[in-house]
Amino acid sequence: MINIRNFNRSLFNNRAFIMKYWIIENSRIPQALSLFINIWAITLYPFIICQGKLEQRTRTHEIIHLHQQREFLLIGFYLLYVAFWVWGALRLRSFHAAYRAIPFEQEAYANDADPTYPLNRKSHSWIKFIRNEQ
Ligand SMILES: [Zn+2]
């Protein structure tokens, strides 16, 4: 059964700015979008959509993506995300390695163990992860 929780709130960039988002659990959307890699959860602002129950670490990971998406007014994020992925796939010859090399993902994976990270994150922090290959 699909479970939608309304109006989760997160502080944004250390300012008293409330970011609203919705969590959709037990959704088939991530599976349907799993064309190149397996997707367990995906963030399509303002929704975090998960195949099953959204655990804390994944939630923090996806909240980081919410912040990144907002910084780029969504469309810029998706264009850059795809551009980084294509660029990585050409260099690394692997969709999964290219996905992990995307600076937005590197920032999220590097910080998703800390649920307070999104509260303290400086805007555009993903820039530090450009060409920081794993
Ligand atoms: Zn991610």
The rounded Å distance from CA 15 to ligand 1 centre is 24
Residue 5 pLDDT grade (very low, low, confident, very high; cuts 50, 70, 90): low
The rounded Å distance from CA 14 to ligand 1 centre is 22
**So where are the chain's domains?**
3-129
The rounded Å distance from CA 123 to ligand 1 centre is 17
Q: What confidence score (pLDDT) does residue 36 get?
A: 85
Alpha helices, DSSP H, located in the chain: 29-32, 56-71, 75-92, 95-101, 103-111, 117-120
Least confident window among 10-24, 39-53, 73-87, 115-129 = 10-24
The rounded Å distance from CA 1 to ligand 1 centre is 24
- CA distances in angstroms from 48 to 31, 41, 91, 127, listed in the order given: 14, 7, 30, 23
Whole-angstrom distance, CA of residue 23 vs CA of residue 8: 8
Return the percentage of the chain with pLDDT > 70, whole number. Answer: 84
- The arithmetic mean of pLDDT across residues 86-92, rounded, is 95
Chain segment 9-62, per-residue pLDDT in tens: 444 444 435 678 999 999 999 999 998 889 999 999 999 999 999 999 999 999
The rounded Å distance from CA 82 to ligand 1 centre is 13
